[in-house]
Structure 1
Amino acid sequence: MTLTLPPPPHDRSRTGRHLVDAAAWPDVARLPRASALRTAVARRIVERALARLPLRVRTPGRAAVVPGQPRATAAPAPVLVLHDPAAFHRRIGADGLIGFGESYMAGEWDSDDLVGVLTVLALHVDELAPPALRRLRRAWNHRRPASDLNTPGGARRNVRRHYDLSNELFAAFLDPTLTYSSAVFDSLPADAADLPAAQHRKIDRLLDLCGTGPGTGLLEIGTGWGELAVRAARRGARVRTVTLSREQRDLALRRVADAGVADRVRVELCDYRRIDGVYDAVVSVEMIEAVGAAYWPAYFGALRSLLAPGGRVALQAITMPHARMLNTARTHTWISKYVFPGGLIPSREALVRESALAGLRIVQDRGYGDHYAETLRLWREGFLRESAAVAALGFDRTFRRMWEFYLAYSEAGFRSRYLDVRQLALAHTGPGPA
């Protein structure tokens, strides 16, 4: 017989759960039901893992910080502050890493160095559970909901849940180019003032990869807020750019007009599966992560069919190791639940395979994950700096903690090299210059 524990009676105000809007955030406002066994196992695994890691853990009633494994450097280990250990372990016991993120959203744990804590966890992700228990990992994983699949209708819904939140929200932490993808800096570390030039450097590299110049017919899949389209038009290209985000489309149209290139840029609401025509060059920046593995053949097939003979595709893509990608593809994660529904980061192996199956070959490939970590640091610092402005837009405390966790979680992924970002050039399969 399985004993299921109800939520404990202690006061939510200790952790900030009393501030959570239960209608907007039901799974954060309430503690999940979890069996005593699952909670006990989760607590044992978490306590053993944290004790071995270069982390310090502070819990209620402890004046001292519990040291983790000593590090080779003199820098102090980051501190994870557990305000409510019982709730923290219960959430992990019920929902694994989704529960870990929801516990942060609820204010049940904190850190003055959130990126540091998450980077340590990312570096040791394969060691967190003892070998004998790793095969039970699926017991803590949830399947991705079918509603998140990127069918034509599903893709529109998924885009609305992230990119249509508010143009003003993104403007609060992005630089004036409104570019929401990794920059390429001249040197690291960088300053916020370096972001506009670094984003233009990234865009210029992509336009160079696909040979964009005067008279080029360029297709962009994934408009963003229009900066790449404007920059391509200023090179003399004729640009068609498509998006599923109405918010982005509307602002991109205004920015194109303000830049004086409306005669050379078409901005359309259109699914990549419905694009027609043939183009000298195609560019797509961090779009494939939103496609989903089930639709990668359709995506690469579209790239192939839309590209004129002798043309090039410039692709910027976040990547993860192949084995981790396979595990993630089967799992409903905190990111897929709260930030990017339907998304999946591909591996480099998947990019090579899917492009080859579609009749494309990768002719250039360059990674620069360190630059994404720096880009995310600057975005995160900007977001925290503008917290009051974000609140004034109507985004509550739970949303702001969620967004901070998302930016820090992503930055940690690149700092630990769990994630990378690559710029690739693709051409038709067959003879021709590389």
Structure 2
Amino acid sequence: MTLAPARTATTDPWPGLHDVPVGPRAAVAARIARRLFSAAVNRLDVTVHLGSGVDAQQLGRGGPVAVVHRPDEFFARLGRDQLIGFGEAYLTGAWDAEDLGGFLTVLAAEITDLVPKRLQKLRSFIVARPPRKELSSKQNSQRNIAHHYDLSNDLFEQFLDPTLSYSSALFEGDPATAVRADLETAQGRKIERLLDLAHVGEGTRVLEIGSGWGELAIRAARRGARVRTITLSVEQQTLARERIATAGFTDLVDVDLCDYREVTGQYDAVLSIEMIEAVGWQFWQTYFETIDAVLAPGGRAGIQAITMPHDRMLATRNTWTWINKYIFPGGFLPSVHVIDQVTRKHTSLRLEQQLSMGQHYAATLRMWDETFLAGSQDVLDLGFDPMFLRMWHFYLEYSRAGFASGYIDVNQIVLTKAAS
């Protein structure tokens, strides 16, 4: 799916999205979806208006409000494609919510109970499985990464802070009270903490898996470290090199277009901020074995990872989600437990400590979305279309809801390797 170009008379960048399910099977599925949705919402502290005018129906017990403008389309999509259909119905405007994040947060907090337990046993027969072409293999990974990170550097610069950190910040004090002016400092605090935990200093040999736009590499080089940072994004590589050169550290930092599976050499510290989410559960063992192989005895690995509860990870690892389809193909979140499990079983790495930062990510995403919405016209001027604006807003608020509700978390994790 090509997302960047604006819609034209001859090109539809959203193929299939406007096809509403029809036919007898779709009608039955829609009726079931309506019954399940109504029962779930009526137990929650939200308000949902189905339709408008004298025929409108109100569901819920009060709280953040959503309006389903086109109930027939909404339930047809929900019936056929479950949560993917729920997100797609938002993209097409079949439903809306003024406080989208607040509404989604209530749903996310109850996600495990929205569908009756007896029906959850049918999950594997109903939900879509990830397409094989999105498996995060060597053959597919660069395409998966390009789908998101090669959209446009200008797009990311529009809503990120000056450090161009596309990961959770670490605020001082209560993140719920943090404001946009705090974000740049909080992003620096996050990176410096990880560098400290990995003992990065003068002469340290550092490998970074997942370059971003170069901020961690710049800060490590500023400490006197020698850095190799790798990415699969051509756009990120270009801008990271520019930023590193501007900072005066070209002699200390190499930015390579390289799959993590192809890394060789030996390093005193391996750092990776929110890259493991793109690895795919099928390759977690390979990912940690690679880190183990290149980490010198006595070395330390600092990983910032978005995580989910272990039981939900096991239940959903073969599910194709809205986030996979539209934002991160091939992505999947680990649990802290599985990171500990895989490293203990297959490597010499040992989990030494972790810091949970979920509410800090909720605040980070709130700030990103506020800035993104305020700059909507700038995004349109880059060549993106109005549907993209709705998709990106939904993505940021959908993610924020996960962290705000506690359904997902983000952790800074330190792994150590014993000295020989």
Which TM-score bucket, shorter chain as reference?
A: over 0.9
Q: CA RMSD in A?
A: 1.8
Point out where structure 1 has 5 or more consecutive residues left out of the alignment.
1-17, 71-76
Shift of 1:131: 3.0
Letter in 2 for 1:409: Y
Deviation at 1:358, TM superposition (A): 1.8
Tell me: CA distance 1:20–1:384, structure 2 relative to 1, closer, same or farther (3 Å): farther
Q: Residue 385 of structure 2 aligns with which residue? A: 396
Q: SS in structure 1 opposite 2:217?
A: helix
Which structure 2 residues correspond to residues 29-44 of structure 1 after superposition, within 5 A? 29-33=18-22, 34-44=25-35
The answer for the alignment partner of 2:3 in structure 1 is: none
Check whether the contact 2:171–2:186 (CA below 8 A) recurs between aligned residues: yes
**1:431, distance to aligned residue in structure 2 (A):** 7.5
For the pair 1:69 / 2:55, whether they are aligned, the reply is no
Query: How far is 1:136 from its partner?
Result: 2.8
Query: Quick check: 1:385 aligned with 2:374?
Result: yes
Q: SS of 2:343's equivalent?
A: helix
State the distance in 2 between where 1:108 and 1:406 align.
Answer: 17
Match of 1:361 in 2: 350
Match of 1:4 in 2: none
Superposed, which structure 2 residues align to 1:203-222 within 5 Å?
A: 203-222=191-210
With 131-140 and 274-283 compared, the bigger mean Cα shift is at 131-140
User: What secondary structure sits across from 2:261 in the alignment?
Assistant: helix
Look up the match of 2:80. 94
The alpha-carbon deviation at position 65 of structure 1 amounts to 7.8
Match 1:151 to one of 137, 142, 152: 137
1:41 is displaced (CA, Å) by 0.7
Q: Which moved more, 1:128-137 or 1:340-349?
A: 128-137
- 1:294-318 Cα offsets, whole Å, 9 max, x none, are 1111100011011001110001001
The answer on 1:257 being equivalent to 2:245 is yes
Q: In the alignment, which of 250, 255, 274 is matched to residue 267 of structure 1?
A: 255
- How far residue 256 of structure 1 moved from its aligned partner, in angstroms, is 0.3
Show CA shifts across 1:48-70 (max 9, x none). 11122111112323478835236
Q: What corresponds to 2:408 in structure 1?
A: 419
Is it true that 1:224 corresponds to 2:224 in the alignment?
no
Classify the secondary structure of the residue corresponding to 2:58: coil
Q: Which residue is 2:146 aligned to?
A: 160
Q: Identify the residue that residue 328 of structure 1 maps to in structure 2.
A: 316
Give the number of equivalent residue pairs.
Answer: 408
Amino acid at match of 2:120: R
CA contact (8 A) 1:20 1:106 kept: no
Cross-structure match for 1:13: none
Comparing 129-138 with 283-292, greater Cα deviation is found at 129-138
Tell me the secondary structure at the aligned position of residue 27 of structure 1: coil
Contact 1:218 1:280 in 2 (8 A): yes
Displacement of 1:193 in angstroms is 1.1
1:49 maps to amino acid? A
- Secondary structure of 2:331's counterpart equals coil
Per-residue CA deviation, residues 218-258 of structure 1 (Å, 9 max, x unaligned), is 11010000000001100111111010000000000000000
- 1:52, 1:19 → 2: CA distance? 43
Distance 1:120 1:19 in 2: 37
Corresponding residue to 1:23 among 12, 15, 21: 12
CA distance in 2, matches of 1:241, 1:88: 44
Structure 2 residue runs without a partner (length 5+):
1-6
The answer on 1:128 being equivalent to 2:119 is no
Q: Distance in 2 between matches of 1:286 and 1:277?
A: 23
Q: Which residue of 1 aligns with 2:39?
A: 48
State the TM-score, normalized to the length of structure 2: 0.94
Which segment is superposed worse, 258-267 or 126-135?
126-135
C-alpha contact (below 8 Å) 1:20/1:28 kept by paired residues? no
1:405 alignment partner in structure 2: 394
The whole-number CA distance in structure 2 between the counterparts of 1:426 and 1:277 is 19
| Distance apart, 1:148 and its partner CA | 0.3
The AA in structure 2 aligned to 1:127 is D
Instruction: Report the alpha carbon displacement of residue 153 of structure 1 after superposing the two structures with TM.
Output: 1.9
3-state DSSP of counterpart to 1:182: coil
Match of 1:5 in 2: none
The SS at the match of 1:361 is strand
Partner of 1:185 in structure 2?
Answer: 171
Picking from 257, 268, 292, the partner of 2:280 is 292
Task: Provide runs of 4+ in structure 1 moved above 6 Å.
Answer: 18-22
**What do the CA deviations read for 1:155-214 (whole angstroms, capped 9, x no partner)?**
000011000000000000000110000000112221111111101000000000110001
1:20/1:397 contact within 8 Å kept: no
Paired residues of 1:20 and 1:29 also in contact (CA < 8 A): no
CA 1:23–1:79: 2 relative to 1, 3 Å: same
SS in 2 for 1:101: helix
1:20, CA displacement in angstroms? Answer: 11
The whole-number CA distance in structure 1 between the counterparts of 2:401 and 2:313 is: 17
Cα distance in 2, alignment partners of residues 394 and 233 from structure 1: 36
Kept in 2: contact 1:143–1:330 (CA 8 A):
yes
2:234 matches 1:243: no
CA distance in 2, matches of 1:151, 1:230: 29
In 2, the alpha carbon distance for the partners of 1:431 and 1:212 equals: 17
Q: Structure 1, residues 257-307: CA drift from partner, whole Å, max 9, x if none?
A: 000111111111011111110001110110100000111111000110110
Contact (CA 8 Å) 1:56, 1:65: kept in 2 or not? no
Distance 1:22 1:216 in 2: 50
SS at match of 2:284: helix
**Is the contact made by 2:51 and 2:57 (CA closer than 8 Å) also made in structure 1?**
no
